[in-house]
Amino acid sequence: MPIRFHSTLFLVLYLSPIIFGYSPNDVKTWCSQTPHPKLCEDFLSHNPTTTPIKEKSQFFKISTQLALDRAIHTQTNLYSLGSKCRNAHEKTAWADCLELFDFTIQKLNKTVNPVTKCTQYDSQTWLSTALTNLETCREGFADLGVSNNYILPSVSNNVSNLISNTLAINKAPYTSQPNHKNGFPTWVNPGDRKLLQSSSPTADVVVAKDGSGNYKTISEAVSAASKRKGSARYVIYVKAGTYKENVQIKSKNIMLRGDGIGKTIITGSKSVGGGSTTFNSATVAVVGDGFIAQDITFQNTAGPTSGQAVALRSGSDLSVFYKCGFEGNQDTLYVYSDRQFYRECDIYGTVDFIFGNAAVVFQNCNIYVHNHKTNTVTAQGRSDPNQNTGISIHNCRVTAASDLKSVQSSVKTYLGRPWREYSRTVFMKTYLDSLIDPAGWMEWSGNFALKTLYYGEYMNTGPGSSTSNRVKWAGYHVITSTSEASKFTVGNFIAGNSWLPATNVPFTSGL
């Protein structure tokens, strides 16, 4: 249909990314901007809006609401299917799915809620997490080798694809700097900052195995924190000792502070080999936003033949780990989702031992590789090109643990492999010891993701840092541009200048 040019046309073209020749409220036109246009059209035609779609922001809100409605519908179906689980493994994977759908609904609610006043960058983070949750739900069944004909079909791709559409519509650049007021995101209560600004935050409760504190277990202290009024920072001081327990932290703004790496230890031994999903194998799992840990070791003692065994899983937005240790073998540290920062930490493992789909920066950390037949330091899980996620390892050291040092010449160790199609990982200004294979990076399965991944190296040092014999994949980059490398810094990649200063944890904003 021909367009008539009049005085308001240029304003309409400016506000709405329409295709020439179509009305701005044409469903097909709007949906053509998404990766799943047919699904978009089907849902919009069955859920007509009361007003024409005139702006991209309006289209985004409608699309996000559709994804939310569909997620709620799917979760309702899932609840009714628990009785059809045929064994313990299916029940375990089903229970994970219920929890993960709940997390997804929370993230979508947060995105569409006008009270939240989130930035475009916040929205992209939470939508990225919502999509990751649904993939993790499906992975649980694969972890345990079960194929449930009742449950898995109900976890349709529709919700994932609707979320993928919202990511494409929002498309916040991962280098954006959110304009947060007073140096902290607008959706965090200003009062939550108070204790963070203290150089040594006073403990609200003390955990001590010998009974000299308020509680003998960390789980008891965490449970008490969930009953507190308000959401101000709650500091749990954990005295030196080894605490054998599995801990889940769902409350916001919790801080765990110990007596130092190797002194305060939280340990568990759940693993996929032992009947857990990867997601549920974590010794400590953090969900509540704004989590901080300092001077603590997180440990999973499941052996190298037990498969995936997580020491810590963080799905906490704006979480910080300072002077912490992470000990395990395969899948030690699950940087699951949202924005995270690690500073001066020690991380040990063998296969994919820093993995997940958060937007995360490691700075001034020691990464130690154990003796194993083949080692991969990272396995980043970005599955959608519009997710603002990735692993950035900046000014760290990658060396052999004591058990690998004498035999490292006979063991192949790689910087990473692509767990998902758009896997994104960079090593910048990091010392790479001679244990790193000259190829640098390892395939996941044949040619999978080699064109779509983004792996980069920038100004690394050490005997394993030479890029002359690195892989020749289309997605691999020797980064020579400062502006390109700067995309993966604390200031840009996780917008750290807007929230890290309040934590009192040291950080370098740029390169």
- Name the packing angle between helices 157-170 and 56-80 (round to 10°): 160
Whether 405 maps to a domain, the answer reads: yes
Give the lowest-confidence range in 172-181, 268-277, 312-321. Answer: 172-181
- Tens of pLDDT along 66-97? 999 999 999 988 888 888 888 898 899 999 99
* φ and ψ of 416, to 5 deg: 175, 175
Q: What is the mean pLDDT of residues 298-307?
A: 95
Give the lowest-confidence range in 27-31, 204-208, 268-272. Answer: 27-31
Please list, in sequence order, all residues whose beta carbon lies within 8 angstroms of the beta carbon of residue 338, skipping any fewer than 6 positions away.
125, 126, 129, 289, 314, 315, 316, 317, 318, 319, 358, 359
Out of 222-231, 403-412, 468-477, the most confident range is 468-477
The pLDDT, as a whole number, for residue 225 is 93
- Tens of pLDDT along 111-160? 998 887 889 999 999 999 999 999 999 899 889 888 766 666 666 678 99
Q: Are 80 and 189 part of one and the same domain?
A: no
| pLDDT tier for residue 193 given thresholds of 50, 70 and 90 | very low
Q: Are 215 and 155 part of one and the same domain?
A: no
Q: What mean pLDDT, rounded, does the chain reach?
A: 88
- Tens of pLDDT along 356-372? 999 999 999 999 999 99
Q: Return the H-helix or E-strand segment holding 132.
A: helix 120-143
* φ and ψ of 48, to 5 deg: -60, 145
Burial class (CB in 10 A: 0-12, 13-18, 19+), 49: middle
Q: What distance, in Å, lies between the first and last C-alpha atoms of the chain?
A: 52
The pLDDT, as a whole number, for residue 50 is 57
Whether 10 maps to a domain, the answer reads: no
Give the lowest-confidence range in 19-33, 68-82, 438-452. Answer: 19-33
Strand partners, 205: 236
Q: Are 45 and 133 part of one and the same domain?
A: yes
Q: Are 76 and 149 part of one and the same domain?
A: yes
The domain total for the chain is: 2
Q: Are 114 and 197 part of one and the same domain?
A: no
Q: Are 145 and 291 part of one and the same domain?
A: no
Please list, in sequence order, all residues whose beta carbon lies within 8 angstroms of the beta carbon of residue 87, skipping any fewer than 6 positions away.
146
Q: Are 304 and 155 part of one and the same domain?
A: no
How would you classify the pairing of strands 333-335 and 312-314? parallel
Asked whether residue 251 carries a pLDDT value surpassing 60, the answer given is yes
The pLDDT, as a whole number, for residue 270 is 98
Q: Residue 83 belongs to what domain range?
A: 24-170
Q: Are 215 and 160 part of one and the same domain?
A: no
Please list, in sequence order, all residues whose beta carbon lies within 8 angstroms of the beta carbon of residue 228, skipping any fewer than 6 positions away.
234, 251
DSSP code, position 439: T
Q: Which of 140, 170, 200 is where one domain is finished? A: 170
The pLDDT, as a whole number, for residue 199 is 53
- The pair of structure tokens assigned to 205 is 């409760």
Give CA separation, 249 vs 280, 283, 313, 325, 450, in Å.
13, 11, 10, 18, 37
Please list, in sequence order, all residues whose beta carbon lies within 8 angstroms of the beta carbon of residue 175, skipping any fewer than 6 positions away.
486, 487, 492, 493
Out of 11-20, 68-77, 437-446, the most confident range is 437-446
Of 352, 384, 433, 437, the catalytic one is 352
The pLDDT, as a whole number, for residue 309 is 98
What span, in angstroms and rounded, lies between the C-alpha atoms of 331 and 283? Answer: 12
pTM: 0.91
Specify the long-range contacts of residues 66-69, CB closer than 8 Å, at least 24 apart.
Answer: 66/162, 67/108, 67/130, 67/159, 67/162, 67/163, 67/165, 67/166, 68/105, 68/108, 68/109, 68/112
The pLDDT, as a whole number, for residue 224 is 94
Whether 274 maps to a domain, the answer reads: yes
Out of 76-85, 187-196, 422-431, the most confident range is 422-431
Q: Are 488 and 458 part of one and the same domain?
A: yes
Active site residue 352: yes
Q: Are 275 and 164 part of one and the same domain?
A: no
DSSP code, position 41: H
Q: Tokens 């394993």 belong to which residue? A: 464
Whether 2 maps to a domain, the answer reads: no
Q: Which of 170, 204, 222 is where one domain is finished? A: 170
In 108-246, beta strands by DSSP E: 205-207, 234-238, 241-244
In three-state secondary structure terms, 57 is: helix
CATH number of the domain at 161, please: 1.20.140.40
Asked whether residue 19 carries a pLDDT value surpassing 80, the answer given is no
Asked whether residue 212 carries a pLDDT value surpassing 60, the answer given is yes
Q: Are 120 and 220 part of one and the same domain?
A: no
Which of 265, 268, 269 is closest to 293 using CA atoms? Answer: 265
Q: Tokens 């240790």 belong to which residue? A: 325
CATH number of the domain at 404, please: 2.160.20.10
- Tens of pLDDT along 384-415? 999 999 999 999 999 999 999 999 989 999 99
DSSP code, position 494: S
Q: Are 126 and 268 part of one and the same domain?
A: no
Q: What is the mean pLDDT of residues 277-282?
A: 97
Whether 56 maps to a domain, the answer reads: yes
Half-sphere exposure of 86 toward its Cβ, with a 13 Å CA cutoff? 7
Whether 289 maps to a domain, the answer reads: yes
Whether 343 maps to a domain, the answer reads: yes
Whether 6 maps to a domain, the answer reads: no
- Tens of pLDDT along 375-384? 999 999 999 9
Torsional sign, CA 441, 280, 329, 148: negative
Q: Which of 125, 146, 170 is where one domain is finished? A: 170
In three-state secondary structure terms, 186 is: coil
